[in-house]
Structures are given as C-alpha cells and as structure tokens.
C-alpha cells in the first residue's frame, strides 16, 4: 500500500472534502455581504457539485479496493455493496442539501453545507471500511457532524436540547462500540473484519467464548444507536423533532444508509468466513448456551441472535409508540425505528450471495429518499403554520393540493402500499430473509414484521386523514418555494416510478457486482 | 382486450385527479367530472361485455405475460378464464351503476370520482391477475380509495367506519402477504405465477397452514363471520356509490381470492386432518361452519335493525355466507353457485343500497324505520317502493331472479357435501324473507298513523323528482338480475368449465 493507492480508493471522499473547503472559502470569503438566500443557493450549488464530482470519480476508484501490504485482506473495499451505498449516500446528500433552500434557521450557511459534506465523507468511509479502526474513525466523523447539524438552529431551544441528548447518547454508544471492538481485538489479535471472522471460526474456544458475547452485545449497542434500534433509540424522537429539517432528513437518510452499509460489511465478512453450506441464521438453542455452540458458528451465531432480538423489539415498539404521537416529526422518528427493525431482520439472516445486501440497500436507499421527501413536505407546512403537530396539517388538500398529493404518496409508500416503492422494499427484504433460511424462526419473525406493518397503516392514515378528510382550520394557502416543490415532486415521481418498475433499481444494483 | 378495463380506469382516475378544480359553487367542473367518470365506467363496461362475448367457449386466455421483476421471477400476467370474465362483467356493471347513483355528489366531485375509478381499476386488476404478486398489488391498491371514499363523503360515524374498514382490509392483506412470501419461498423463489405455484406440488403440511391463513385473509373482505364487523359499519357509513361497490364488488374480491388463491393454490389444505371434533374434521368443515353461522347470524341481526341501511349491510353478510359455503363444498354445482351468487349479490345488493342510500335517504334524510314509518313513502315515492319490492324479492331468492339460481346451486352443492349444511342455511333463507318483508313494510307500506307533529298542516312537501340517472341505473341492475335469473346459462356456460378446471387441481 502506498499513498497513491490510498488516494485512488478514496477519490470520492477527497472530492467531497475539497467541496467542503470550497464552500467555506466561498461563503466566508466572498459572500459575507450577500443576501441569505443567495448564499444558500451558492453553498448548495457547490455542495451539489461536490457530490456530483464524487459520483463522477467513483468509476475511477481502484477496482477491488485496497488491501493491507503483503496480505490479500481488504482494508477498504470498493465496488459491490460499497459502491451502491456510496452512490446512495451521495445522491441522498444532494437531496438533503436541496431542503436547505428557502430555510432561515441559520445564517451560517457555508458551515452547514461544509459539515454536511464532511459527515457524508464519514458515511462514504464506513461504507468501505473493513478495519475496525477505519470504521470507528468514519463513524465518529459522521456522528460529530450529525451532532453539530442537530444543534444548528441556534435560536431554537429544542434544537439545542435535542443536540445535547443526541451527543450524550452518542458519546456513550461510541464508548460501548470501542469497548466491544477492543474485546474483538483481544480475542483475535486483529482489527481486520475478515481476519477476525476467520480467527473466531477456526478456533472453537474463541467462537464460544463468553467474552465474544459481551463484545457483540457492546458492538450491537453501538451500532444499534446509529440505526436507532430499540433499546438504543431514545435519542431519535427528540432529534427528529428538534433538529432543523435538512439536518433531520440527513440523519434519517444518509446516516442510516451508512450505518446499514457498515452492518452489511460486517455481515458479508461473517458470512464469507462460514462454510458455504451454512447460512447465517439464528440458532436459538445453540446460541443460548455458548458452550454447546458448534465451532463454525463463530461470530455469526450470537450476532444473528442479538440482532434478531433488537429487530423484533424495534419493530414492535417503534410501531406501537408511533400510534400515540401527536407530532408528525416524532411519528416519523418512531416509524424510522420500526423500519430499522424490519431491515435488521435481513441483517440477522444474512446470506453469502448478495441477495441480503441488495435487499437491505434497496430498502434503506428508497426509505431514505422517501423520508427526505416527507421531511421536506413537513418543513413546508411547518414554515407556514409554525408547528409540526398533526393539527397543522388540517385540510391541507385545500391549501396546497400538490403538497397533499406528495404526502399521500410518500406516506403510503412508507406504509408499504403497492405499487409504491416502499412495498417492494419490504417484499424484497422479507423474501431475502426467507430465502436465507426457510425454517420456522425466520418465518415467525417475518410474520411479526408483516403484522406490524399493518399496524403502521393506522398512524400514517391519521396524518392523511387530517390532510384530506378534515376541514382546514385556516384558509390561507401553504406555499413552498418552487424549487422545493420541484424537488418534492421529483422524489414523489421517483417513488411511483421505482415502485411500478422495481426491476430498474434491482438491475442497476446488480450491475455493481458485475466485475466481482 | 380486457386489460384495457384496468388501464382506462386508472387513466380516468388520473385525469380526474389532475382536473383543475372549479371555483367554489361552480357546477361546471363537477358536471365535467361526472361525464368523464360515466364515460370511463361505460367504456370499461363495454369492454367487459365485449370481452365476455369474445371469451365464450374459451378456457383461460392469457392477455399479457411479460417479466416484471426479472430477478425475482415475477411476471406481469393478466389472463381471464370464465370466472374472471363474469366478475369483470359485474365490475363494469357496478361501476356504471355507481356513477349513475352518485350523480348528485357536489362536494369535491373530481376527487370523488378519481377515488372511485382508482378503486374500480384495482378491482378489475384483481380479477384479471394470474400472478399472485400482481393480484396482491391490485388487491392493496383497492384499499386506500375505499378509506377516502368513506371518510370524506360518508355519513354515520364515517371516520371510524373508514378506519375500521381500512385496518380490517390491511390485516387481511397482511395475512395474504405472509402466505405469498411463504409460498414463493416454498416453491423455490422462482415464480409467483398462479399457474406455476399451483403446479409446484407444495408440501401438504405447508398447504395445511397456508390454506386457512389465506382463506381468512381474503375471507375478511368477503364478510367471513366473525371477521365481518367492518362490513355493516362500512356499508352504512359509505356514500351510496361506495356502499354499492363495497357490497357489489369489493366483498367479491375477498371471495374471489378465497377461490383463486386459497382453494386454487392450496387444495390439500382442505383435506381431512385425520381426527375430528364434533364432526369438524378439516378446514373445510371449519369454514363451512363459519359460513353457515354467517348466513344465520347476518339474517337474524338484519331482522333486528332500526336503521334501513344496516338491514342491507347485515343482509350482505348473510348472502356472502352463501358464497363462502358454496366455495368450500368443493363440488362443481356448489362452486358454480358460489360464483353465480357473487354476480347476483353484486347486482342485487348494489340495487338495494342505491334505493336506500340514494333514492330514499337523499330525499328523506333519515334511515330510521321509526321516522320512515310516518312518511307514507309507498304513496309519495312509488318508484322507490316498487323498485325495492322487486329488489327485495330478488334478494329473497324468488325464482326468476338471479339470486334463486345461485342460492339453489349452493344449497345443492352443500347437500352433496354435508346435508346439515343445507338444512341450516335453509333457515337463513327463511329469515331472509322475514327481514326483507319487515324492511319493506316499515319503510314503505307502514300502516302506522303519523303522529300529529309529523303531519304537516299544508299537506306533504313534494320530494325531489326521481332523476334520469336513478331510473337508468335501476333499470340496468334490474335487467341484469332478470336476465341471469331467467337464462342463467348465459353466465353458467362461462363459469362451469373454469370451475371444473380449478377444482381438478392445477390450472394448466
């Protein structure tokens, strides 16, 4: 490994960071006296160009990623699931930047965009990282950015409060994660995911060590925090409610994509270390008593069990808690917890082939897109009515028919109604779980997930009922800026088109694996 | 050709949704919306008739079959066999009648017809899908418009009823989704085509649990007792056209799913368990028992209602019991009867709801028998009275109307399977006569003298005259039930071979 190789693998990250610096220079250096909206336009433009440059740079990344010197083990992967996640992160970052247009929560526009870009860099890095240290650095880069973004509305008490909560929880979970990582290192003498998995599988003593269980619980706590899974979700409702809309959308989409990409990375490494014939699945009896665990179980057995428990807790608790919400943002937060629960099922039942990885990415990318749209629509209403309470949406169909239509499509997609994309994501995901293992346990888990998504329709309809059925409390029009409405229309169109032609995105994703 | 019924319905819905809304009080855009909706519905009906005529004597005809999600083996397969063609015909008829009977909708007219046509498009889609996945997609598409139709344009406790209906439907479709996922995985994750799945030789143990889950999942929408409770509240709260569609075609979606998916794909799920408890020895017995309970329970509850529309709502539960009973007889004649009953009940229930909801309620603004009794509707609204007499007679199952042929066949099938099913459901028919006469007498021909406060001094105010759309719609539905009642072979010739193929296992 030399720095030229490293540079070639991290081209997209480099492009983003250069754009971040450019934004600072332009905004702080040249546009100090310009009007706020001009500065926003300029900063967003540079940010978008940075993402575009990163996208353009992606094909020029060193194929196959970067290995350690004198070893075939990967340090940073490229192509395959990494590339899909990175493209997703870049595209979703562009959409979140668009949400900034027309907002007035901060005067520090350049800084906001720069932090977004740097956080996205962290996201790109953890999608590629195959080494615990790289992963940790990437995660912290992402997380620190998110704390700052949450606190960005300086005049809002809620923003500060939620950032504080987010930061305290985040710091704690990072400590857990690092603690877990250190145990893994202690058990296996390596910080590389592949070497760790092999070491755990080859030696029964390691594979069955109670210490491993402790390490995995710690890691699950750290990563569970990132994806807002129960019981590590407490920050999510407050952050979603308090953060400025573009920041909340970024947390709900880009950060989730990156975190699930990391889980895919761990799953891929674990599944590849297993015998080809043995799927990664929850072996309840074996995992319950580590001593009786077969040697090949290594990492995968206890990991799947822990993840499956978190998944069920998330989808049940997230959906039930969402029923009681009165704030649409909090509702979106609890629904995000529920969605994370569904996805974690596919993390627990992970396959060597790319079915599981693709199903997870399909879900999280389309979910991220839908959520950005939902936050965009909510923020338009919020700006006019000054609140994101359910009652702020009363009679929206009369006040802005198009926004009402956007909310209809996006919320129904989140609820998983065909032919919208959210439905395909769910179907794809559950089919992948059942394809990995056709036993009773995965089937029961999928049945719980399907039943819970039936519950979710209720709370999405509660919002849509106010939008379409109930009379408006106030007749004034709700106007968003044309650009915002255009972006929302684009997202809605994508949700419909990708839903009607689900093969499009699947074959697009498959193309990334072509050379591998 | 039949596929165009789906496309034009959705296109019509889209056009109406995007149609610029006229200013408040401007009737022009509402009139335009009505005309567009009528044209679209009529075009769908015309295509359905043409498709029905063209399909005579043919078996299953594949209309279109292209890969939809190639990586998962999901195809966009539309096809029609005799059963589909009959139900598509019913849908076309119900759509035209529904538009005619909602001619007086003035509140958010564009959106009303947009949701209406979206629902119709979904229903056509279900009846024509021959890929389980596609069928499910259309099945779910039909849920959301129902919610809005009831919640926005409904009456009594509309938001409650709409949410209840939406959640019941969604829980049912969640069960169907579970079966779909499981069947897809069990058959090797290659295909979701109905024909492929039927020929996949799914293990008997799998079919044994998949069948009841699928049957209940679809049965919820077909008013299967005890999961029927959405039906009366939904029917009553819904605007007239939506009640007509709910009873007329949406409940048939459920019954069709029970037949096509539950029975068609998992026939061994009906096999005996090998043990029995009080004569219940298979899922077949269980569902027959539930169907019979539904028939009698629905009829008894209808007998006790004080709200005119609730009578019809519960009678739907009772009549749909016959459909479900016919299905689980698994005899040629019984299943023929069930499919015919789907058509017949679709027409007759549509007519009853139209009379109660549009012709009577929109003029008297009450559905309570206590108030209707004092209104002398028999004399003041002779058209409604006579229409209800004929519809009621058809609903009771008098010879000459479609209901007779259908229920007779169901009872014959039940007799072949287990005679006590016939005996028990015969009681339901007798109670059916009772509640229909009771409703007729209380609503139209009451001999109770009006109380002094009910009697206006200056004579009775005139009701708004019966309009042409109402007359046209009524005649259309009458004609349908009469034609089928007098010459049932017109449908049976189409139904019989399809049922035969389906019962023979596989759908080659």
Please return the burial class of B11, using the count of CB atoms within 10 Å of its CB with bins 0-12, 13-18 and 19+.
middle
pLDDT at A290: 44
**What's the gap in Å between the CA of B171 and the closest CA on chain A?**
6
**What's the gap in Å between the CA of A420 and the closest CA on chain B?**
10
- Intervals of chain A under pLDDT 50: 283-293, 295-296
Q: Taking CA atoms, what residue in B is nearest to A412?
A: B144
Tens digits of per-residue pLDDT, A473-503?
777 788 888 888 898 999 999 999 998 888 8
Q: Are B89 and B48 in contact (CB under 8 A)?
A: yes
pLDDT at B491: 85
pLDDT at A67: 81
Selecting from A446, A454, A465 the residue whose C-beta is nearest the C-beta of B159 gives: A465
pLDDT at A291: 46
**What's the gap in Å between the CA of B173 and the closest CA on chain A?**
9
pLDDT at B371: 76
Chain mean pLDDT for chain B: 85
pLDDT at B453: 62
Contact residues on chain A for B170, CB-CB shorter than 8 A: 454, 457
The ipTM, to two decimals, is 0.87
Residue B275: band (very low, low, confident or very high) from pLDDT cuts 50, 70, 90: confident
**Residues of chain A contacting B, Cβ within 8 Å:** 397, 401, 405, 412, 417-419, 423-424, 427-428, 430-431, 434-435, 438, 443, 446-447, 450-451, 453-454, 457-458, 461, 465, 468-469, 502-503, 506-507, 510
Tens digits of per-residue pLDDT, B50-65?
888 888 778 788 888 8
Q: Taking CA atoms, what residue in A is nearest to B164?
A: A458
Contact residues on chain A for B68, CB-CB shorter than 8 A: 502-503
**Residues of chain B contacting A, Cβ within 8 Å:** 17, 21, 67-72, 111, 133, 136-137, 140-141, 143-144, 147-148, 151-152, 159, 163, 166-167, 170-171, 173-174, 177-178, 181-182, 184-186, 189
**What's the gap in Å between the CA of A139 and the closest CA on chain B?**
33
Cβ distance of B137 and A451 shorter than 8 Å: no
pLDDT at A115: 94
* Concatenated DSSP letters of B135-179: HHHHHHHTHHHHHHHHHHH--TTHHHHHHHHHHHHHHHHHHHHHH
**What's the gap in Å between the CA of B371 and the closest CA on chain A?**
30
Selecting from B67, B166, B177 the residue whose C-beta is nearest the C-beta of A461 gives: B166
Which two three-digit tokens encode residue B415?
A: 């007799």
Q: Are B337 and B485 in contact (CB under 8 A)?
A: no
Which two three-digit tokens encode residue B123?
A: 């229903």
The terminus-to-terminus CA distance of chain A in angstroms comes to 21
**What's the gap in Å between the CA of B20 and the closest CA on chain A?**
11
Contact residues on chain B for A443, CB-CB shorter than 8 A: 182
Selecting from B21, B148, B185 the residue whose C-beta is nearest the C-beta of A438 gives: B185
Selecting from A418, A503, A510 the residue whose C-beta is nearest the C-beta of B140 gives: A418
Residue entry with tokens 């061994």: B268
Q: Taking CA atoms, what residue in B is nearest to A416?
A: B140
Contact residues on chain A for B73, CB-CB shorter than 8 A: none
In whole angstroms, what is the distance from residue B403 CA to residue B343 CA? 9
Q: Which of B170, B206, B210 to mutate to test the interface with A (most CBs of A within 10 A)?
A: B170
Task: Give the highest mean pLDDT range of B86-95, B261-270, B481-490.
Answer: B86-95
**What's the gap in Å between the CA of B178 and the closest CA on chain A?**
6
Cβ distance of B167 and A454 shorter than 8 Å: yes
Cβ distance of A435 and B189 shorter than 8 Å: yes
Which two three-digit tokens encode residue B454?
A: 């009910």
Closest CA to B376 of B435, B460, B457: B460
Q: Taking CA atoms, what residue in B is nearest to A417?
A: B140
Q: Taking CA atoms, what residue in A is nearest to B70?
A: A503
| Residues in contact with A363: Cβ distance below 8 Å, sequence separation at least 6, in sequence order | A339, A342, A343, A346, A425, A426, A428, A429
Q: What is the pTM of this model?
A: 0.90
pLDDT at A281: 52
Contact residues on chain A for B146, CB-CB shorter than 8 A: none
Contact residues on chain B for A431, CB-CB shorter than 8 A: 72, 181, 184-185, 189
Selecting from B71, B177, B178 the residue whose C-beta is nearest the C-beta of A506 gives: B71
Is B207 a residue whose pLDDT tops 80?
A: yes
pLDDT at B51: 87
Cβ distance of B181 and A468 shorter than 8 Å: no
* H or E stretch at B80: strand B74-80
Q: Taking CA atoms, what residue in B is nearest to A450?
A: B174
pLDDT at A75: 84
In whole angstroms, what is the distance from residue B38 CA to residue A491 CA? 33
Pairing of strands B74-80, B272-277: unpaired
Contact residues on chain B for A427, CB-CB shorter than 8 A: 133, 177, 181
Rounded percentage of chain B residues whose pLDDT exceeds 70: 95
Q: 3-state SS of A357-416? A: HHHHHHHHHHHHHHHHHHHHHHHHHHHHHCCCEHHHHCCHHHHCHHHHHHHHHHHHHHHC
Helix then strand then coil, % of chain A, to nearest 5: 75, 0, 20
Contact residues on chain A for B67, CB-CB shorter than 8 A: 503
pLDDT at B112: 87
**What's the gap in Å between the CA of A514 and the closest CA on chain B?**
14
Selecting from B71, B171, B184 the residue whose C-beta is nearest the C-beta of A503 gives: B71
**What's the gap in Å between the CA of B134 and the closest CA on chain A?**
9
**What's the gap in Å between the CA of A88 and the closest CA on chain B?**
21
Q: Taking CA atoms, what residue in A is nearest to B189?
A: A435
**What's the gap in Å between the CA of A447 and the closest CA on chain B?**
6
Please return the burial class of A80, using the count of CB atoms within 10 Å of its CB with bins 0-12, 13-18 and 19+.
buried
Q: Taking CA atoms, what residue in B is nearest to A507?
A: B71
In whole angstroms, what is the distance from residue A440 CA to residue A450 CA? 15
Contact residues on chain A for B167, CB-CB shorter than 8 A: 454, 457-458
Selecting from B71, B137, B178 the residue whose C-beta is nearest the C-beta of A510 gives: B71
Mean pLDDT of B219-245: 85
Cβ distance of B69 and A450 shorter than 8 Å: no
Contact residues on chain B for A469, CB-CB shorter than 8 A: 148, 151-152, 159
Selecting from B67, B141, B166 the residue whose C-beta is nearest the C-beta of A418 gives: B141
Residue entry with tokens 């009775």: B460
Selecting from B71, B72, B159 the residue whose C-beta is nearest the C-beta of A469 gives: B159
**What's the gap in Å between the CA of B501 and the closest CA on chain A?**
30
Q: How many CB pairs under 8 A join A and B?
A: 83
Helix then strand then coil, % of chain B, to nearest 5: 75, 5, 20
Tens digits of per-residue pLDDT, A293-312?
454 456 777 788 888 899 99
Neighbours of B487 (CB within 10 A): 11
Lowest mean pLDDT among B156-165, B341-350, B445-454: B445-454
pLDDT at B119: 92
């Amino acid at each position: 490994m030399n720095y030229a190789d490293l540079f070639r693998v991290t081209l997209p990250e480099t492009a983003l960071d250069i754009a971040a610096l450019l934004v600072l220079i332009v905004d702080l250096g040249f546009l100090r006296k310009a009007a706020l909206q001009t500065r926003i336009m300029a900063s967003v433009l540079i940010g978008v160009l940075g993402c575009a440059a990163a996208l353009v740079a992606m094909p020029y990344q060193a194929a196959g990623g970067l290995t350690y010197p004198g070893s075939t083990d990967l340090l940073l992967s490229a192509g395959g699931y990494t590339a899909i996640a990175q493209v997703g992160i870049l595209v979703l970052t562009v959409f979140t930047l668009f949400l900034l247009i027309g907002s007035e929560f901060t005067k520090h526009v350049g800084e906001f965009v720069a932090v977004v870009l740097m956080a996205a860099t962290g996201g790109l890095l953890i999608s590629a990282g195959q080494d615990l240290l790289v992963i940790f650095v990437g995660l912290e880069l992402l997380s620190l950015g998110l704390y700052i973004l949450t606190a960005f509305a300086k005049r809002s008490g809620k923003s500060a409060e939620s950032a504080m909560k987010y930061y305290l929880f985040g710091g704690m979970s990072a400590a857990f994660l690092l603690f877990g990582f250190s145990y893994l290192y202690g058990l296996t003498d390596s910080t590389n995911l592949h070497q760790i998995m092999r070491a755990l599988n080859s030696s029964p003593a390691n594979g069955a060590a109670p210490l491993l269980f402790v390490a995995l619980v710690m890691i699950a706590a750290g990563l569970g925090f990132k994806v807002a899974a129960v019981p590590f979700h407490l920050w999510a409702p407050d952050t979603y409610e308090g953060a400025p809309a573009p920041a909340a959308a970024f947390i709900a989409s880009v950060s989730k994509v990156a975190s699930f990409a990391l889980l895919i990375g761990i799953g891929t490494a674990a599944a590849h270390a297993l015998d080809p014939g043995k799927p990664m699945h929850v072996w309840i009896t074996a995992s319950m008593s580590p001593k009786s665990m077969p040697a090949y179980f290594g990492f995968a057995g206890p990991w799947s069990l822990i993840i499956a428990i978190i998944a069920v807790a998330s989808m049940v608790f997230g959906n039930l808690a969402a029923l009681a919400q009165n704030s649409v943002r909090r509702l979106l937060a609890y629904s995000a917890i529920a969605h994370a629960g569904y996805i974690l099922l596919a993390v627990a039942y992970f396959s060597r082939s790319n079915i599981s990885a693709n199903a997870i990415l399909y879900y999280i990318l389309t979910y991220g897109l839908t959520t950005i749209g939902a936050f965009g629509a909510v923020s338009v209403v919020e700006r006019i009515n000054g609140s994101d309470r359910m009652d702020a949406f009363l009679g929206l169909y009369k006040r802005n028919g198009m926004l009402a239509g956007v909310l209809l499509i996006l919320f129904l997609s989140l609820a998983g109604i065909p032919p919208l994309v959210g439905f395909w994501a769910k179907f794809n995901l559950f089919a992948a779980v059942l394809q990995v293992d056709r036993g009773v346990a995965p089937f029961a888990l999928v049945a719980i997930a399907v039943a819970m998504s039936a519950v979710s329709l209720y709370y999405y309809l509660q919002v849509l009922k106010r939008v379409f059925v109930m009379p408006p409390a106030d007749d004034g029009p709700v106007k968003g800026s044309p650009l915002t409405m255009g972006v929302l229309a684009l997202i809605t169109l994508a949700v419909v088109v990708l839903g009607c032609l689900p093969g499009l995105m699947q074959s697009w994703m498959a193309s990334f694996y072509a050379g591998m | 050709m039949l596929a165009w019924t789906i496309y034009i319905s959705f296109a019509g819905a889209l056009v109406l949704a995007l149609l610029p809304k006229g200013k408040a009080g401007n009737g022009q855009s509402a009139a335009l919306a009505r005309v567009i909706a009528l044209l679209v519905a009529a075009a769908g009906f015309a295509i359905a008739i043409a498709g029905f005529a063209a399909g005579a004597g043919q078996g299953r005809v594949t209309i279109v079959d292209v890969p939809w999600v190639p990586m998962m083996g999901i195809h966009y397969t539309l096809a029609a066999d005799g059963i589909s063609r009959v139900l598509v015909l019913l849908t076309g008829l119900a759509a035209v009648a529904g538009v005619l009977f909602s001619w007086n909708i003035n509140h958010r007219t564009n959106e009303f017809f947009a949701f209406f046509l979206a629902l119709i498009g979904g229903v056509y889609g279900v009846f024509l899908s021959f890929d389980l996945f596609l069928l499910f997609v259309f099945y779910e598409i039909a849920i959301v418009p129902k919610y809005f139709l009831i919640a926005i344009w409904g009456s009594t406790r509309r938001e409650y009823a709409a949410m209840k209906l939406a959640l019941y439907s969604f829980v049912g479709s969640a069960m169907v989704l579970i079966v779909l996922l499981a069947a897809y995985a069990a058959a090797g994750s290659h295909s979701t085509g109905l024909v492929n799945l039927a020929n996949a030789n799914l293990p008997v143990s799998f079919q044994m649990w998949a069948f009841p889950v699928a049957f209940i999942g679809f049965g919820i929408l077909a008013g299967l007792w005890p999961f029927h409770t959405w039906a009366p509240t939904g029917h009553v709260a819904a605007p007239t056209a939506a009640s007509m569609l709910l009873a007329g075609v949406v409940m048939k979606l459920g019954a069709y799913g029970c037949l096509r998916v539950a029975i068609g794909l998992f026939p061994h799920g009906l096999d005996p368990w090998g043990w029995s408890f009080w004569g219940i020895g298979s899922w077949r017995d269980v569902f027959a028992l539930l169907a019979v309970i539904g028939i009698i329970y629905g009829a008894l509850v209808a007998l006790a209602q004080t709200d005119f529309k609730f009578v019809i709502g519960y009678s739907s539960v009772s009549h749909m019991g016959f459909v479900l009973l016919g299905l689980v007889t698994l005899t040629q004649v019984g299943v023929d009867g069930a499919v015919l009953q789907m058509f017949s009940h679709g027409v007759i229930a549509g007519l009853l709801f139209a009379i109660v909801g549009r012709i009577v309620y929109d003029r008297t603004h009450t559905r309570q028998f206590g108030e209707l009794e004092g209104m002398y509707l028999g004399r003041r609204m002779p058209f409604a009275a006579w229409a209800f007499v004929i519809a009621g007679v058809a609903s009771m199952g008098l010879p000459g109307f479609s209901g007779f042929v259908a229920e007779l066949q169901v009872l014959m099938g039940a007799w072949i399977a287990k005679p006590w099913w016939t005996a028990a459901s015969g009681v339901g028919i007798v109670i059916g006569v009772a509640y229909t006469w009771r409703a007729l007498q209380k609503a139209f021909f009451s001999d109770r003298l009006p109380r002094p406060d009910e009697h206006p001094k200056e004579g009775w105010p005139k009701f708004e005259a019966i309009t042409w759309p109402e007359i046209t719609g009524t005649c259309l539905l009458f004609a349908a039930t009469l034609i089928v009642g007098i010459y049932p072979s017109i449908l049976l010739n189409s139904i019989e071979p399809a049922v035969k193929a389906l019962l023979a296992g596989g759908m080659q």
